[in-house]
């Protein structure tokens, strides 16, 4: 990664640009044309000046003719420049859009293992800040790199056409400028990288604290949090200062070299003029070229630093885009129609980290329509079972079968369509109440939606909202109470009515009276449907066909309520404890 150009990343950037190759070609042609025309103007002016020699020695007719040419060329150049700018903008902004789209699509297929492990703020920062930084670098790259290079070539040819000796002076001296620029760029690449890393850390911290501002305040931790923030902020200041200062040395240094070149041209040019091999007008054009010839080098070197910063950002985005996705559905994966609800777990082993086995040798056979209650102390692996059933995570060993088909042989879509899930942590998207309910079934009719809302007892509170079903709720449910949010999540499942239900402590923040009603509705819904319930409420468990009692990831007891009570083990103790307080 110490390379000045991270060629791998660069190649990937070009992959995205490839799509716009015709626009790119147009841009290059326009750049060439405008540059040629821009360069021609100093020649014309030089010629005009040669017609203005001294007192009573001015050829007005010739001067006016040249000035008219200048006017026309300048107008056309201005117009073409504008068109070129628009094209360049389009390429840049579209590439950014494409990358963001792709990164977002990638997020949809990344394994949960990745998403659970990376702070969300960091992923968002890649998607937004890094792409933006990258955009700016790219934009500068486009507009200045092409015009820069064409200017260099054009100027070189024009200079050569006037006087080759002076041209030689310019050409020999310019590499100095490049040398200085690349020296500085090399030294600063790492500084930018460090800056970028510390900035990501800060972003992540800001994300965490501001998202949970209420907790910070509840504990009066404002000062302490600020103190921690200051620490990162201080570090960022130092690294930013280094990166910015050292990279900003490029301009003054190269400008100095240019001044030397300018003086060199002035010297050789003036001496040549004394010798009569060049006119004063020619010298004027030359001096103007000397400026133009070296300026693009400046700009290119400016572009190089900017581009490096951009590439550092790009590589972080590409890291995300190229992150190993979840194992895709195989080509011959079965599309599960409406499942009967038969679920079998055979010798399942699973762990989140290699060093600690969480689930060992789990066996479970669920017949269609059966109700499985999963209980156990917190952290005993209940949510893990859901992660596995839904294929959020894949088993390490053994298999899970649905209708006797290994779920890894079923397309994820069709598998998940057969599950209705209500998680403990409610999640609502910003949008209307209706938007949130139809997640369950995108083509649901209004009647179906209201029906589902009624069945989950959400209808009555929705009705009371200012715009009913069209009320827009903000980030994470906004002003809705935890219970209301949960009711909406239940309504979503009510609407879809899939053959297998997964309820993860779904009703824990709903009052028991409402819960009772919901349970009635569930009971209706569960008829003929297999259901897995993770709950602490014994009332929901008692009626289960099978109760799984988990502890430390393995099933320690399995059976129905009566059987387990008779066993007088862990379950019996748990059951009795609620009446002994």
Partner 1 sequence: MVKLFIYFKGYIKESILGPLFKLLEATLELFVPLVVAAIIDTGIKNSDRSYIIRMCLILVLLGLAGLVFSVIAQYFAAKAAVGFIKKLKQKLFSHIQTFSFTQLDTIGTSTLITRMTNDMNQLQTGVNLSLRLLLRSPFVVFGAMVMAFTIDVKAALVFVAAIPVLSAVVFGIMIWCIPLYRKVQERLDKVLGLARENLTGVRVIRAFNTEENEIREFEEKNDEHTIMQKHVGRISSLMNPITYLIINLAIIALVYTGAIRVESGIITQGAVVALYNYMSQILVELIKLANLIINITKSVACGNRIQAVLEIEPDIEENDKTPEKMKSDIVVEFKDVYLRYKNAGDDSLSNINFKVRRGETIGIIGGTGSGKSSLVNLIPRFYDATSGEVIIESINIKDYPVEQLRKKIAAVPQKAVLFKGTVRENIRWGKNDASDEEIYEALTISQAKEMVESKGGLDYEIEQGGRNLSGGQKQRLTIARALIKKPEILILDDSASALDYATDAAFRKSIREMEHTPTVFIVSQRTSSIQYADNIIVLEDGKIAGIGKHHELMESCQVYREIYDSQFKKEGA
For the segment 531-570, give every residue that binds partner 1 (CB under 8 A).
536, 538-539, 542
* Of 166, 283, 506, 555, the one binding partner 1 by CB under 8 A: 283
* Of 18, 57, 331, 332, the one binding partner 1 by CB under 8 A: 57
Nearer to partner 1, 266 or 346 (CB): 266
Which residues 205-244 are close enough to bind partner 1 by CB under 8 A? Answer: 206-222, 224-226, 229-230, 233-234, 236-237, 240-241, 244
Q: Quick check: helix, strand or coil at residue 348?
A: strand
Nearer to partner 1, 346 or 508 (CB): 508
* Of 199, 316, 371, 529, the one binding partner 1 by CB under 8 A: 199
Nearest-5° Cα angle at 67, 65 to 72: 100
Nearer to partner 1, 2 or 475 (CB): 475
Nearer to partner 1, 11 or 117 (CB): 117
Cβ neighbors of 518 (< 8 A, separation 6 or more) are: 456, 457, 487, 490, 507, 510
Which residues 124-153 are close enough to bind partner 1 by CB under 8 A? Answer: 124-125, 127-129, 132-133
In the complex, least distance from residue 371 CB atom to partner 1, rounded to whole angstroms: 15
Pairing of strands 397-402, 405-406: antiparallel
Alpha-carbon dihedral 244, 250, 253, 257, rounded to 10 degrees: -170
- Judged by CB under 8 A, the stretch of 14-22, 64-72, 166-174, 443-451 that binds partner 1 is 64-72
Residue with tokens 């008219």: 68
- Asked whether position 354 contacts partner 1 by CB under 8 A, the answer is no
Residue span 77-116 as binding mask against partner 1, x where in contact by CB under 8 A, dash where not: xxx-xx--xx--xx--xx-xx--xx--xx-xxx--x--xx
Report helix angle 7-18 to 21-50, nearest 10: 100
- Judged by CB under 8 A, the stretch of 3-11, 17-25, 422-430, 446-454 that binds partner 1 is 422-430
In the complex, least distance from residue 30 CB atom to partner 1, rounded to whole angstroms: 12
- Judged by CB under 8 A, the stretch of 156-164, 184-192, 317-325, 501-509 that binds partner 1 is 501-509
- Asked whether position 32 contacts partner 1 by CB under 8 A, the answer is no
Nearer to partner 1, 10 or 273 (CB): 273
Give the integer Cα–Cα distance in Å for 139 and 307: 9
- Asked whether position 351 contacts partner 1 by CB under 8 A, the answer is no
Nearest-5° Cα angle at 418, 416 to 423: 60
* Of 6, 403, 484, 557, the one binding partner 1 by CB under 8 A: 484
Give the integer Cα–Cα distance in Å for 342 and 400: 11
The 10 Å Cβ neighbour count of residue 275 is 8
- Computed on alpha carbons and rounded to an integer, the radius of gyration of the chain in Å comes to 35
- Judged by CB under 8 A, the stretch of 23-31, 273-281, 339-347, 520-528 that binds partner 1 is 273-281
Burial bucket for residue 108 (CB in 10 Å: 0-12, 13-18, 19+): exposed
Burial bucket for residue 26 (CB in 10 Å: 0-12, 13-18, 19+): middle
Per the rule left: phi > 0, alpha: psi between -120 and 50, beta: everything else, 559 is left
In the complex, least distance from residue 370 CB atom to partner 1, rounded to whole angstroms: 20
* Of 346, 509, 558, 560, the one binding partner 1 by CB under 8 A: 509
Of 184, 135, 458, 470, the closest CA to residue 313 belongs to 135
The number of residues in the chain equals 581
Q: Applying CB under 8 A, what is the total number of residues that bind partner 1? A: 178
Cβ neighbors of 476 (< 8 A, separation 6 or more) are: 427, 428
* Of 153, 273, 358, 497, the one binding partner 1 by CB under 8 A: 273
- Asked whether position 266 contacts partner 1 by CB under 8 A, the answer is yes
Give the integer Cα–Cα distance in Å for 393 and 495: 26
- Asked whether position 277 contacts partner 1 by CB under 8 A, the answer is no
Residue span 441-470 as binding mask against partner 1, x where in contact by CB under 8 A, dash where not: -x------------------x--xxx----
In the complex, least distance from residue 26 CB atom to partner 1, rounded to whole angstroms: 15
Give the integer Cα–Cα distance in Å for 382 and 18: 48
Of 330, 394, 390, 319, the closest CA to residue 113 belongs to 394
In the complex, least distance from residue 165 CB atom to partner 1, rounded to whole angstroms: 15
- Asked whether position 284 contacts partner 1 by CB under 8 A, the answer is yes
The 10 Å Cβ neighbour count of residue 332 is 6
In the complex, least distance from residue 469 CB atom to partner 1, rounded to whole angstroms: 15
Which residues 317-336 are close enough to bind partner 1 by CB under 8 A? Answer: none
* Of 259, 277, 330, 365, the one binding partner 1 by CB under 8 A: 259
In the complex, least distance from residue 164 CB atom to partner 1, rounded to whole angstroms: 20
Nearer to partner 1, 333 or 465 (CB): 465
Cβ neighbors of 219 (< 8 A, separation 6 or more) are: none
* Of 264, 368, 398, 569, the one binding partner 1 by CB under 8 A: 264
Q: Quick check: helix, strand or coil at residue 328?
A: coil
Give the integer Cα–Cα distance in Å for 188 and 178: 15
Nearer to partner 1, 11 or 276 (CB): 276
Of 126, 134, 92, the closest CA to residue 320 belongs to 126
Residue span 158-197 as binding mask against partner 1, x where in contact by CB under 8 A, dash where not: ----------------------------------------
Alpha-carbon dihedral 303, 304, 309, 312, rounded to 10 degrees: 130
- Asked whether position 371 contacts partner 1 by CB under 8 A, the answer is no
The answer to whether the CB of 42 falls within 8 A of the CB of 284 is yes
Structure tokens at 360: 């060992």
In the complex, least distance from residue 251 CB atom to partner 1, rounded to whole angstroms: 7
């Amino acid at each position: 990664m110490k390379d000045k150009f991270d060629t791998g990343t660069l190649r990937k950037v070009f992959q995205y640009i490839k799509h716009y190759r015709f626009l790119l070609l147009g841009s290059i042609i326009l750049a060439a044309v405008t540059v040629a025309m821009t360069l021609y103007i100093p020649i014309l002016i030089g010629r005009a000046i040669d017609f203005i020699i001294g007192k009573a020695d001015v050829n007005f007719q010739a001067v006016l003719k040249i000035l008219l040419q200048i006017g026309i060329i300048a107008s056309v150049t201005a117009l073409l420049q504008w068109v070129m700018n628009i094209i360049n903008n389009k390429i840049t902004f579209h590439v950014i859009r494409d990358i963001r789209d792709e990164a977002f699509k990638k997020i949809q297929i990344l394994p949960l293992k990745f998403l659970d492990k990376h702070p969300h703020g960091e992923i968002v920062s890649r998607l937004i800040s890094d792409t933006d930084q990258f955009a700016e670098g790219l934009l500068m790259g486009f507009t200045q790199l092409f015009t820069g290079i064409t200017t260099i070539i054009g100027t070189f040819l024009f200079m050569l056409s006037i006087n080759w000796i002076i041209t030689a002076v310019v050409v020999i001296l310019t590499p100095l400028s490049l040398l200085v620029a690349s020296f500085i760029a090399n030294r600063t690449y790492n500084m930018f990288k460090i800056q970028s890393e510390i900035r990501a850390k800060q972003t992540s911290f800001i994300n965490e604290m501001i998202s949970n501002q209420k907790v910070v305040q509840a504990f009066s931790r404002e000062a302490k949090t600020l103190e921690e923030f200051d620490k990162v902020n201080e570090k960022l200041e130092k690294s930013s200062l280094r990166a910015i200062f050292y990279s900003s040395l490029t301009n003054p240094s190269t400008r100095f070299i240019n001044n030397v070149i300018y003086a060199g041209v002035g010297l050789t040019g003036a001496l040549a003029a004394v010798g009569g091999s060049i006119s004063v007008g020619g010298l004027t054009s030359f001096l103007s070229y000397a400026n133009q010839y070296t300026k693009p080098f400046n700009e290119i070197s400016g572009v190089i630093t900017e581009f490096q910063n951009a590439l550092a950002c790009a590589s972080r985005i590409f890291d995300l885009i190229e992150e190993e996705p979840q194992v895709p559905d195989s080509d011959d994966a079965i599309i599960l129609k409406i499942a009967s609800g038969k679920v079998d777990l055979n010798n399942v082993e699973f762990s989140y980290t290699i060093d600690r086995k969480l689930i060992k040798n789990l066996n479970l056979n669920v017949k269609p329509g059966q109700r499985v209650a999963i209980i156990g102390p917190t952290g005993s692996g209940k949510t893990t079972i859901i992660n596995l059933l839904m294929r959020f995570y894949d088993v390490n060993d053994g298999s899970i079968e649905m209708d006797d088909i290994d779920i890894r042989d079923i397309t994820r879509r069709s598998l998940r369509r057969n599950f209705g899930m209500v998680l403990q942590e409610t999640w609502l998207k910003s949008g209307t109440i209706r938007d949130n309910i139809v997640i369950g079934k995108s083509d649901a009719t209004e009647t179906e939606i209201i029906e589902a809302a009624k069945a989950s007892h959400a209808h009555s509170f929705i009705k009371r909202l200012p715009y009913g079903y069209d009320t827009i709720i903000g980030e994470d449910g906004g002003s809705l109470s935890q219970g209301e949010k949960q009711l909406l999540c239940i309504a979503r499942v009510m609407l879809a009515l899939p053959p297998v239900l997964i309820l993860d402590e779904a009703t824990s923040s709903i009052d028991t009276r409402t819960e009772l009603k919901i349970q009635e509705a569930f009971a209706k819904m569960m008829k003929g449907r297999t259901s897995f319930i993770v709950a602490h409420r014994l009332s929901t468990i008692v009626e289960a066909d099978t109760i799984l009692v988990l502890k430390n990831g393995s099933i320690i007891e399995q059976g129905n309520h009566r059987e387990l009570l008779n066993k007088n083990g862990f379950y019996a103790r748990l059951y009795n404890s609620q009446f002994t307080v």
